[in-house]
A and B are shown apart, each in its own frame.
Chain A
């Protein structure tokens, strides 16, 4: 009886394996440049005038290299070139911080975060 049970189970598993194999196409690899991967780290909150590090150093480009990056702080101040910068917000509010990165093939990507500035 045990042998019969095994043969039915093996048949079912084989069939499912055959089916599964038929339904799994070969792994593909994109042949075009993939966009860069921005990573933005910033505190969720701080106080007015407090100097904070906005860190995008973990950003990367999967198929090449980053060629340009700049940061926006959401308070009307000038954009800052580079992946990281220190910044202090001068008024309370909820600000949108943005990191733009561009790779050496011209593709761009953006990471965003919000920071609450308290009095």
Chain B
């Protein structure tokens, strides 16, 4: 029996007969089952972009830094942090899911001799006492292609015994000076090559003859056309005198490495690099050194836990609460490459302990040993934790930094283990239960003169005669050369 169609009804259209809605609609329809199966598309709650991602380090160029919130948040303010350059504002209100600030490029001096400097940018929104959104990105600052010529000058060796004969090699690096340019070399009262020629790789060399009598040679290299110049002081000492003079101010840069163990971590254990910058001041008398160390910055590495990524931040008051460590020690010799091995430093912050090295840290806020060291009205010192919000803690840091004295301007500990730093923390309240056990992994460390003496980098950017921690941090980024040993996040071989 043949089926007949009632009058007025039509066959459903075949696929081919359906109207052409365009490729986007067809794709959307085809994707519906998949979307339904997968649920909502996952995007980070907060993202951060920077444009351009590369900036000339001329102190003027600007990049737009945009934080975007995935979900609607009313009345939120995004806080921004940059490890270099200058943010037009450290906070911006979220409008239609976006907050924008500008990063003003760092000065070329902040690059030092590096071909580039990576600037880490981060953004955060505090939602509750215990919930914060974070995002990060990176910008690269490079030497500008235009601007005044620049010269860097080093002496090798940086000091010698007068009357020993031979010569000191002067190494030059230049920027924006053409190959073949003749540079003028002067060292009044000393015998030095009068010229150095810039090579294709932008370097140049000259020689300074070791004199018969002691004295400091101030060598100045200049390009006559532009007036660009650089200086270095080469020490020529009497036999038996130290070949270096550490008296002055240094930036101690140490990419400390730590291993964290806790059942709340995923993966467990985790390894991380926690860079620190310390302002070190020395007075050297003979081989005796009086030293003071002021902590300017410690970067807390993010960790991933079973409930997500956890980040920590400290305020300037936190760093100000860390006491200056005073030490006296004697160098074993005055020769170049002499061992630099000050005693370990032990710092307790947030409590007054009878025995700073071994006494157990307080675990309760009402322990009479607890002090409000950062003077914020809360016990101990306060750090901001993305999971637990404001955390009131007491911590103990035991650090050991050693190396070799390369010159009056530089001490380098380039052997893994030259830097060992461990931190023990006591958190008041429940969050303490999630604290990992921390142990130190060996790392490297360097101390670089930043007071402008002996031809060194001068970190006093505002020329007010004092060095602030902000100036020291900028200088550290410019002068540091060592990098931390490979540190796999899951600890790799260290497991």
Q: Give residues in A with beta carbon < 8 Å to B.
A: 1, 4-5, 8-9, 12, 15-16, 19, 22-40, 62-63, 74-76, 94, 96, 106, 109-114, 116
The answer to whether A28 and B86 touch across the interface, beta carbons within 8 angstroms, is: no
The answer to whether B32 and A37 touch across the interface, beta carbons within 8 angstroms, is: no
- From B25, B39, B90, B125, contact of A38 by CB (8 A): B90
The answer to whether A15 and B32 touch across the interface, beta carbons within 8 angstroms, is: yes
Given contacts A9-B21, A74-B462, contact A112 B72 (CB under 8 A): no
The answer to whether B74 and A28 touch across the interface, beta carbons within 8 angstroms, is: yes
Q: Which of B25-69 contact A (CB under 8 A)?
A: 25, 28-29, 32, 35-36, 39-41, 59-60
Closest A residue to B26 by CB, please name it: A12
Closest B residue to A36 by CB, please name it: B91
- From B13, B28, B107, contact of A94 by CB (8 A): B107
Give Cα distance in the complex from A41 to B423, angstroms.
Answer: 43
Give Cα distance in the complex from A63 to B73, angstroms.
Answer: 15
The answer to whether A1 and B13 touch across the interface, beta carbons within 8 angstroms, is: yes
Give Cα distance in the complex from A19 to B463, angstroms.
Answer: 60
Given contacts A9-B25, A16-B28, A23-B40, contact A34 B75 (CB under 8 A): yes
Would you give the shortest CB distance from A105 to chain B, in whole angstroms? 12
- From A22, A29, A35, contact of B77 by CB (8 A): A35
* A111 cross-chain contacts in B, Cβ below 8 A: 87-90
* A30 cross-chain contacts in B, Cβ below 8 A: 73, 75-77, 125-128
* A33 cross-chain contacts in B, Cβ below 8 A: 126
- From B32, B88, B107, B125, contact of A113 by CB (8 A): B88
Closest A residue to B74 by CB, please name it: A29
* A114 cross-chain contacts in B, Cβ below 8 A: 59-60, 86, 104
* B25 cross-chain contacts in A, Cβ below 8 A: 9, 12
Would you give the shortest CB distance from B347 to chain A, in whole angstroms? 25
The answer to whether B104 and A63 touch across the interface, beta carbons within 8 angstroms, is: no
- Residue B346 at the A interface, CB < 8 A? no
Chain B residues bordering chain A, tally (CB within 8 A): 46
* A19 cross-chain contacts in B, Cβ below 8 A: 32, 35-36, 40
Would you give the shortest CB distance from B474 to chain A, in whole angstroms? 10
Given contacts A29-B73, A32-B126, contact A5 B19 (CB under 8 A): yes
Q: List 8 A-B contacts (CB under 8 A).
A: A12-B21, A31-B128, A31-B129, A32-B126, A33-B126, A35-B77, A38-B90, A110-B89
Would you give the shortest CB distance from B436 to chain A, in whole angstroms? 26
* B389 cross-chain contacts in A, Cβ below 8 A: 32
- Residue B366 at the A interface, CB < 8 A? no
Closest A residue to B464 by CB, please name it: A76
Give Cα distance in the complex from A18 to B76, angstroms.
Answer: 27
The answer to whether A109 and B89 touch across the interface, beta carbons within 8 angstroms, is: yes
The answer to whether A8 and B29 touch across the interface, beta carbons within 8 angstroms, is: yes
Per-residue 0/1 for B446-473: is the Cβ within 8 Å of any A Cβ (1 yes, 0 no)? 0000000000000001111100000000
* B73 cross-chain contacts in A, Cβ below 8 A: 27-30
Task: State the 8 A-B residue pairs at the shortest beta-carbon distance, nearest first.
Answer: A76-B464, A23-B40, A34-B77, A112-B86, A27-B72, A109-B91, A5-B19, A111-B89
Given contacts A30-B75, A38-B90, contact A8 B59 (CB under 8 A): no
- Residue B92 at the A interface, CB < 8 A? yes
Most buried by B among A15, A34, A63: A34
The answer to whether A8 and B18 touch across the interface, beta carbons within 8 angstroms, is: yes
- Residue B93 at the A interface, CB < 8 A? yes
- Residue B367 at the A interface, CB < 8 A? no
* A34 cross-chain contacts in B, Cβ below 8 A: 75-77, 126
Give Cα distance in the complex from A111 to B82, angstroms.
Answer: 12
Give Cα distance in the complex from A28 to B92, angstroms.
Answer: 17
* A106 cross-chain contacts in B, Cβ below 8 A: 376
The answer to whether B71 and A25 touch across the interface, beta carbons within 8 angstroms, is: yes
Closest A residue to B315 by CB, please name it: A108
- From A26, A37, A63, contact of B91 by CB (8 A): A37
* A12 cross-chain contacts in B, Cβ below 8 A: 21, 25, 28-29, 32
- From A24, A39, A94, contact of B89 by CB (8 A): A39
Would you give the shortest CB distance from B470 to chain A, in whole angstroms? 10
The answer to whether B90 and A110 touch across the interface, beta carbons within 8 angstroms, is: yes
Given contacts A1-B13, A5-B19, A76-B463, contact A109 B90 (CB under 8 A): yes
* A110 cross-chain contacts in B, Cβ below 8 A: 87, 89-90
- Residue B304 at the A interface, CB < 8 A? no
